[in-house]
Amino acid sequence: MAQLVLLIPADQEPSLGARRAEALARLGVTSVSVALDERTAAVILEGWALDPSRGAEALAALGASEEDARALRLVAQMAVSPATDTGGIWR
């Protein structure tokens, strides 16, 4: 699944109404998550048909300005499972 992270100034935090959801769906987005602090909103887009190189279009779909926002593409992802302690020897 492709992912794209958009960093947008918190004062430009987009509202995610039906029109914007429709525009994101046309870009192949199937899931949207938002995280924020007092300065920045991070919009995490995911989708099997999402092309991460279309960051500018995703920003436009959210009504964000390319001048103030950034699109980050995923470069690494890993799954972590709990390690088993075998008496001080990790196998």
Instruction: Give residue-wise pLDDT tens across range 15-56.
Output: 788 999 999 999 999 999 999 899 999 999 999 999 989 999
Domains along the sequence of the chain with CATH: 2-73 (3.30.70)
Does residue 82 register a pLDDT over 80?
Answer: no
Rama region for 10: left / alpha / beta (φ>0; ψ in -120 to 50; rest) = alpha
Beta bridge partners of 86: 89
What pLDDT shows up at residue 16? 85
Pairing relationship of beta strands 70-73 and 31-36 according to DSSP bridges = unpaired
pLDDT tens readout for residues 62-74: 988 888 898 888 8
∠ CA 73-78-80, nearest 5°, is: 145
Tell me which residue has tokens 């980050």: 72
